[in-house]
């Protein structure tokens, strides 16, 4: 009986160690955004913003898992020189900021332990509404954003360093249907896995 209990205890301990090695990890990350709002009424230049938040690694195998994240993302933009021509009461060359609570849920493919390929959807909730693009009181941007994310990440023990491209899938223009506006740009980041 004691032997069976010892074997069961040893098997459970090994399984827990394997799960801990493969299982769930948490960390923090921060970096720079190089984004723009893409649309005919906006400047085509990319502008710097930032991202900060937390990530989790849920590993199914040594080579495959998912990486859900919770990020605060800032996108800086500038309206174009003909914005007022397209939108009655619009403001040309207006510089603004969009602040999103972003939730990427990324497939994490590791062809080698040092490298992760990340791809998947990102859901964004607009935390601020910009009422200054036109002289009317109407909200300019929709409250939600759906994007697709793709990139690569270096896994240097607990340190994570990566780059991604984010492209918006839905129109965030809440003024009218005259023009389609979409977020897009690059994210560069460094993160640290806490456990």
The pLDDT tens digits of the residues spanning 54-68 come to 999 999 999 999 999
Q: According to the CATH classification, is domain 25-193 in 2.40.160.20?
A: yes
Q: How many residues does the chain have?
A: 195
Domain ranges of the chain: 25-193
* Three-state secondary structure string covering 133-155: CECCCCCCECCEEEEEEEEEEEE
Residue 16: band (very low, low, confident or very high) from pLDDT cuts 50, 70, 90? very low
Q: What is the pTM of this model?
A: 0.82
pLDDT over 50 at 186, yes or no:
yes
């Amino acid at each position: 009986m004691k032997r069976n209990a010892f074997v069961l205890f040893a098997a459970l301990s090994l399984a827990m160690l394997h799960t801990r090695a493969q299982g769930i990890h948490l960390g923090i990350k921060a970096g720079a955004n190089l984004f723009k709002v893409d649309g005919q009424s906006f400047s085509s230049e990319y502008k710097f913003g930032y991202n900060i938040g937390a990530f989790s690694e849920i590993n199914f195998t040594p080579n495959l898992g998912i990486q859900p994240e919770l990020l605060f993302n800032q996108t800086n933009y500038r309206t174009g020189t003909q914005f007022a021509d397209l939108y009655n009461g619009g403001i040309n060359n207006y510089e603004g900021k969009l602040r999103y609570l972003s939730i990427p849920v990324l497939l994490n493919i590791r062809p080698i332990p040092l490298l992760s390929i990340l791809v998947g959807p990102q859901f964004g909730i607009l935390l601020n509404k910009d009422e200054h693009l036109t002289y009317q009181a109407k909200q300019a941007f929709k409250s939600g954003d759906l994007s697709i994310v793709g990139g690569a990440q270096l896994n240097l023990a607990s340190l994570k360093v990566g780059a991604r491209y984010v492209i918006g899938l839905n129109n965030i223009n809440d003024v009218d249907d005259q023009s389609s506006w979409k977020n897009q740009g690059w994210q560069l980041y460094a993160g640290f896995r806490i456990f």
